[in-house]
């Protein structure tokens, strides 16, 4: 058996995308377990309207966080193979098949990592997709850590690493996946297991998203080196170049050019691929907006990570690295 699980909260505006794509699967799931965290809109009613079309089991646990919701869903799932996704996403018709088949064919395999691709509607979202998305050729299957929007694993693997960490409100899926990696080492990468996602439609919503991600990093004490590099860049390197331009010679502006090329090279490469079906004007607009999006994300991460570390210092949290 194959179970698909997801958590929802006030997703009336986009839950149908996920449910419709589950109806089109080449290999249908045997059951779909959805945990609602107490939605106050029509989310539950919409899901219930699909119960005569899909094998949906919906559970309500008001006030639960994402980790708690996923754990509840997996506990209730009858299948050994668990495919995990989120509301607001659209699944490729081969998503279940691409994730589950390697687990079916290789009993020793525990985890299959899927892929994700943005679906921009305008120039801003195109630029956002290039900033936060990835190309398949960027992914090293040996080190790739999939988020819980497109991943499958055996129920026994979920139990072996202590389930999702319920003390984390954001970044919980990354900690869980890192624990799976530490425990089982080898993941199978399935690039055809694609979920299509909508990027954040504004800088404000993007800032909030990445602030929470970084706060979760701080709470869990992960990616310290990456965050330190960001503080050094903005707190030391950029001010040093500005000082050298003003006090020594204007040609030190070359330092900004070199840094910009390094900083934006990969996002612009993604934009070239993602923008192939878009107009010339949209691509130009996306190129202009991209540095602003990257800088906004960096600021959100720097503030969020510090707040996460402060929270961690004030709370007695478990050592998630003990698998």
Among the ranges given (25-29, 178-182, 251-255, 278-282), the one the predictor scored with the smallest mean pLDDT: 251-255
Whether residue 155 sits in one domain with residue 11: yes
How many other CB atoms are found less than 10 A from the CB of residue 66? Answer: 21
pLDDT at 28: 97
The contacts found for 309-312 with CB under 8 angstroms, 24 or more apart, are: 309/218, 309/219, 309/221, 310/218, 311/215, 311/218, 311/219, 312/218, 312/219, 312/220, 312/221
pLDDT cut 90: percent of the chain above it: 91
Q: Identify any residues that bridge with 113 across adjacent strands, giving them in sequence order.
A: 151, 189
Residue 281 is part of which domain span? 203-314
pTM of the full predicted structure?
0.92
Task: Give SS3 for 309.
Answer: helix
User: Which pLDDT band, with edges at 50, 70 and 90, does 322 fall under?
Assistant: confident
Whether residue 212 sits in one domain with residue 161: no
Whether residue 10 sits in one domain with residue 157: yes
Q: Express each pLDDT in 18-59 by its tens digit.
A: 999 999 999 999 999 999 999 999 999 999 999 999 999 999
Indicate the average pLDDT of the chain. 95
User: Which pLDDT band, with edges at 50, 70 and 90, does 323 fall under?
Assistant: low
Q: Express each pLDDT in 92-106 by its tens digit.
A: 999 999 999 999 999
Taking residues 64-75, report their average pLDDT: 96
**Pairwise CA distance, residues 27 & 23, whole Å:** 10
Taking residues 112-141, report their average pLDDT: 95
pLDDT at 19: 97
| Of the candidates 54, 167, 150, the residue with the CA atom closest to the CA atom of residue 111 | 150
**Pairwise CA distance, residues 196 & 18, whole Å:** 10
**Pairwise CA distance, residues 7 & 224, whole Å:** 29
Whether residue 154 sits in one domain with residue 70: yes
Give the CATH number for residue 82.
3.90.550.10
* Residue 80 host element (H or E): none
CA distances from 29 to 4, 11, 32, 69, 155 (A): 6, 21, 7, 19, 15
Q: Is the pLDDT of residue 131 over 70?
A: yes
Whether residue 181 sits in one domain with residue 271: no
Total domain count, the chain: 2
Alpha helices in the chain (DSSP H): 15-23, 43-48, 66-76, 95-105, 123-132, 155-160, 172-184, 203-220, 224-232, 238-247, 254-274, 280-314
**Contact partners, residue 185, CB within 8 Å, separation at least 6:** none
Domain assignment of residue 229, yes or no:
yes
**Contact partners, residue 258, CB within 8 Å, separation at least 6:** none
Tokens representing residue 73 in the block: 């869903």
How many other CB atoms are found less than 10 A from the CB of residue 160? Answer: 16
Q: Which of 178, 197, 216 is the last residue of a domain?
A: 197
pLDDT at 286: 97
Q: Is the pLDDT of residue 237 over 90?
A: yes
Taking residues 291-303, report their average pLDDT: 97
Handedness of CA 12, 23, 275, 227 (dihedral sign): positive
Q: Which of 176, 197, 218 is the last residue of a domain?
A: 197
Whether residue 193 sits in one domain with residue 207: no
Domain assignment of residue 165, yes or no:
yes
Whether residue 151 sits in one domain with residue 7: yes
């Amino acid at each position: 058996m194959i179970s698909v699980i997801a958590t929802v909260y006030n997703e009336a505006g986009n839950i149908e995308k996920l449910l419709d794509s589950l109806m089109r699967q080449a290999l249908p799931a045997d059951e779909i377990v959805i945990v609602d965290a107490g939605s106050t809109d029509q989310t539950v009613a919409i899901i219930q309207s699909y119960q005569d079309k899909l094998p949906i089991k919906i559970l309500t646990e008001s006030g639960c966080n994402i980790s708690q919701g996923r754990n509840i869903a997996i506990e209730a799932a009858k299948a050994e193979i668990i495919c995990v996704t989120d509301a607001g996403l659209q699944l490729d018709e081969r998503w279940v098949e691409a994730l589950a088949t390697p687990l079916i064919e290789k009993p020793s395999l525990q985890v299959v990592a899927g892929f994700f691709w943005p679906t921009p509607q305008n120039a801003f979202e195109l630029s956002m997709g290039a900033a936060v998305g990835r190309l398949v050729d960027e992914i090293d299957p040996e080190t790739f850590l999939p988020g819980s929007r497109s991943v499958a694993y055996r129920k026994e693997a979920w139990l072996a690493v202590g389930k999702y960490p319920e003390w984390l409100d954001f970044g919980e899926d990354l900690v869980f996946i890192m624990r799976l990696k530490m425990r089982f080492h080898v993941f199978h990468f399935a690039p055809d297991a694609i979920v299509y996602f909508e990027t954040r439609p504004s800088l404000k919503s993007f800032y909030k998203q990445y602030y929470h991600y970084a706060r979760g990093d701080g709470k869990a004490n992960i990616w310290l080196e990456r965050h330190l590099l960001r503080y050094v860049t903005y707190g030391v390197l950029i001010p040093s170049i500005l000082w050298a331009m003003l006090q020594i010679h204007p040609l030190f502006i070359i330092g900004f050019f070199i840094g910009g090329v390094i900083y934006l090279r990969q996002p612009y490469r993604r934009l070239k691929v993602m923008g192939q079906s878009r107009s010339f004007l949209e691509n130009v607009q996306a190129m202009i907006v991209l540095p602003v999006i990257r800088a906004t994300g960096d600021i959100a991460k720097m503030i969020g990570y510090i707040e996460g570390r402060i929270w961690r210092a004030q709370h007695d949290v478990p050592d998630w690295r003990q698998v």
